[in-house]
Amino acid sequence: MGRPLAARRHTGERRVCLGLLGLLAGLGAGLGAGLGAGLGGGCDRPRPSPTPPAGATAAKPESVLERARAARRAGDRAGAEAAYAELLRNAPTHPGASLEFGGWLVELGRSHEAEPLLRHATQLAPDDGAAHAALGELLAQKGEADGAVASLERAVSLQVDPYYSTWIALARSAAQLGDRPRRAAEAYRLASACHAASAPRRAADDLVEAARQFRNADDAHAARAALEAALQLQPDHSQAQAELARLQ
Phi, psi dihedrals of residue 36, rounded to the nearest 5°: 70, -170
Q: Where are the alpha helices (DSSP H) in 2-96?
A: 5-33, 36-39, 61-73, 77-90
Mean pLDDT value of segment 54-74? 83
Percentage of the residues of the chain whose pLDDT score is greater than 70: 77
- Cα dihedral angle (89, 93, 98, 100), rounded to 10 degrees? -110
Angstrom distance (rounded) from CA 119 to CA 244: 42
In a domain, 243, yes or no: yes
Asked if residue 83 lies in contact with residue 61, where contact means CB atoms within 8 angstroms, the answer is no
pLDDT category at 17 given cuts 50, 70, 90 is very low
pLDDT category at 234 given cuts 50, 70, 90 is very high
In a domain, 215, yes or no: yes
Residue 141, Cβ neighbours under 10 Å: how many?
Answer: 14
Angle between helices 145-158 and 129-141 (to 10 degrees): 160
What separation in angstroms does the CA of 93 have from each of 1, 96, 130, 169, 171? 44, 9, 16, 28, 32
Number of domains into which the chain is organized? 1
In a domain, 221, yes or no: yes
In a domain, 47, yes or no: no
| Whether pTM exceeds 0.95 | no
**pLDDT tens-digit profile of 128-154?**
999 999 999 999 999 999 999 999 999
In a domain, 198, yes or no: yes
In a domain, 78, yes or no: no
Residue 31 pLDDT greater than 50, yes or no:
no
Q: How many CA atoms lie within 13 A of 5 on its CB side?
A: 0
In a domain, 226, yes or no: yes
Angstrom distance (rounded) from CA 70 to CA 193: 35
Domain region containing 200 = 184-248
**In angstroms, how far is the first alpha carbon of the chain from the final one?**
80
In a domain, 201, yes or no: yes
Angle between helices 5-33 and 77-90 (to 10 degrees): 30
Asked if residue 120 lies in contact with residue 27, where contact means CB atoms within 8 angstroms, the answer is yes
